[in-house]
């Protein structure tokens, strides 16, 4: 029988959002500043619509000013850029998020780089990526998913990861690369793996911390997990089980429980923390815009 802890991302996110709600009320009463989040969605992708609704609801629950801008799937790139330009200069908006993926005719890089770095609560602007990589995060925004993963890792292992070996499977700009930078900043020894890595099982077996972010269902097997490792599963994959659609991660969860000391489930692990960190980044952006410490 497994002794692994199921990392409850939902409970951790709720506790985080309770603190954000209190700090928001304080910011309003002490400085007259209400954090504002603007979410832009292009087209009618059902999954994106659910995410956007959840983000808007969470922002309102925290006491934020919340705006959602819904644009048609065939919107001209110049019109989207004009909207972002307006939001960049709007004083009531501290955080801007453009929901990805975008339709093929839009240049994703051009769009994400047009958001002011001081309002880039997704942490995708090259200025914020550079600050994270250089370790200057006091006034930078860290991408929400890796930031949430890091809190869960530190909750399990403490803030200083000296002597710990961490393996990140996946090298995306949204999760894999920033995750590596955060783990390095916490003194872990980091290996980033990807589709070209030879002997992936062997590499993963050496890790005290495994972060899986590849988007392939149950790819990381239970016997790849070192006894006592902490496993963070970022993957959200929809698979068909007996004619029903089911969500599963990149890690074979039940099998990982046999070896790991702690594992995030899918759903209920990383997902809720991502939205909580978006709220935390928006609150930080509001504080920084008012000339306050973002701590």
Find the catalytic residue in 12, 55, 119, 164.
Answer: 55
Active site residue 55: yes
Q: Which residues, other chains included, contact 257 with Cβ-Cβ below 8 Å and sequence gap of 6+?
A: 2, 4, 6, 222, 263
**CA–CA separation, 5 and 7 (whole Å):** 6
92: helix, strand or coil: coil
**CA–CA separation, 206 and 264 (whole Å):** 19
Find the catalytic residue in 58, 99, 208, 233.
Answer: 99
**CA–CA separation, 143 and 28 (whole Å):** 26
CB 35 within 8 A of CB 64: yes
What is the β-pairing status of strands 237-241 and 244-248? antiparallel
Active site residue 49: no
Active site residue 122: yes
Give the closest residue to 209 by CA, choosing from 170, 273, 148, 261. 261
Backbone φ/ψ region at 280: left (φ over 0), alpha (ψ -120 to 50), beta: alpha
The number of beta carbons lying within 10 Å of the beta carbon of residue 5 is 13
Sheet architecture: strand order including 230-233: 5-6, 262-263, 230-233, 209-212, 165-169, 189-193
CB 260 within 8 A of CB 4: yes
Find the catalytic residue in 23, 119, 120, 122.
Answer: 122
- Kindly list the catalytic residues: 55, 99, 122
């Amino acid at each position: 029988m497994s002794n692994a802890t199921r990392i409850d991302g939902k409970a951790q996110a709720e506790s985080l959002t309770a603190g954000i709600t209190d700090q928001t009320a304080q910011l309003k009463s002490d400085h007259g500043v209400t954090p504002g989040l603007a979410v832009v969605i292009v087209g009618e992708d059902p999954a994106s619509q659910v995410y956007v609704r959840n983000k808007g609801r969470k922002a309102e629950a925290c006491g934020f000013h919340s705006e959602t801008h819904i644009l048609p799937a065939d919107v001209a790139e110049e019109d989207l850029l004009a909207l972002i330009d307006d939001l960049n200069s709007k004083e009531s908006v501290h955080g801007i998020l453009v929901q990805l993926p975008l339709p093929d005719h839009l240049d994703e890089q051009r769009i994400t780089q047009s958001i002011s770095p001081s309002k880039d609560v997704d942490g995708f602007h090259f200025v914020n990526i550079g600050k994270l990589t250089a370790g200057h995060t006091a006034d930078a925004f860290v991408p929400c998913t890796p930031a949430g993963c890091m809190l869960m890792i530190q909750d399990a292992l403490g803030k200083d990861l000296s002597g710990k070996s961490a393996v990140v499977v996946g090298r995306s700009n949204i999760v894999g690369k920033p995750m590596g930078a955060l783990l390095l900043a916490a003194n872990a020894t980091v290996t980033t793996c990807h589709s070209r890595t030879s002997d992936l099982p062997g590499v993963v077996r050496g890790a005290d911390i495994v972060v899986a972010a590849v988007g392939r269902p149950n790819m990381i097997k239970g016997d790849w997990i070192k006894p006592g490792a902490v496993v963070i599963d970022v993957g959200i994959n929809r698979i068909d089980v007996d004619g029903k659609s089911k969500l599963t991660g990149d890690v074979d969860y039940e099998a990982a429980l046999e070896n790991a000391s702690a594992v995030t489930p899918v759903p209920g692990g990383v997902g809720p923390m991502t939205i909580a960190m978006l709220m935390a980044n928006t609150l930080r952006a509001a504080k920084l815009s008012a000339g306050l410490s973002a701590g």
